[in-house]
Amino acid sequence: MTADETLARLDDDHYPAYTTGRAAALLGTTPGFLRALDEASLITPLRSRGGHRRYSRHQLRTAARARRLVDRGTPIEAACRIIMLEDQLEEARHLNSEQRRAGGSPRPSTAARGVMAGM
């Protein structure tokens, strides 16, 4: 691997650069919290050759979202589900927007727009 290829990985949000200990320290939490997020299938860290969990920046941002909810009193399982649903909703909105731009489906009805605006 060249130096340029190595540097390019540093810009990749999905490159698993952080060990469990480092990730926990950055988030101000415990390795057990990160393992719980893995068990709940919110984030799935890659594994090193030795079997150690490695986290990406993208995964750390997701873990930080969970931490904020848990810090406010939301059970960890519920926090994980909330984040999964938020992410699914965002993806659906993005796909709908792309489809409308491409001339696909018509715009949502007035009632549907009112419901979406309240979210």
Element of type H or E holding 5: helix 3-10
3-class DSSP state of 98: helix
Q: How far is CA 39 from the centre of its chain?
A: 15
How far is the C-alpha of 67 from the C-alpha of 76, rounded, in Å?
8
pLDDT band at 117 (very low <50, low <70, confident <90, very high): low
Give the mean pLDDT of the chain. 88
- Residue 83: pLDDT above 90? yes
Backbone φ, ψ for residue 37 (5° rounding):
-65, -35
Please name which of 16, 53, 14, 13 lies closest in space to residue 37, comparing C-alpha atoms.
53
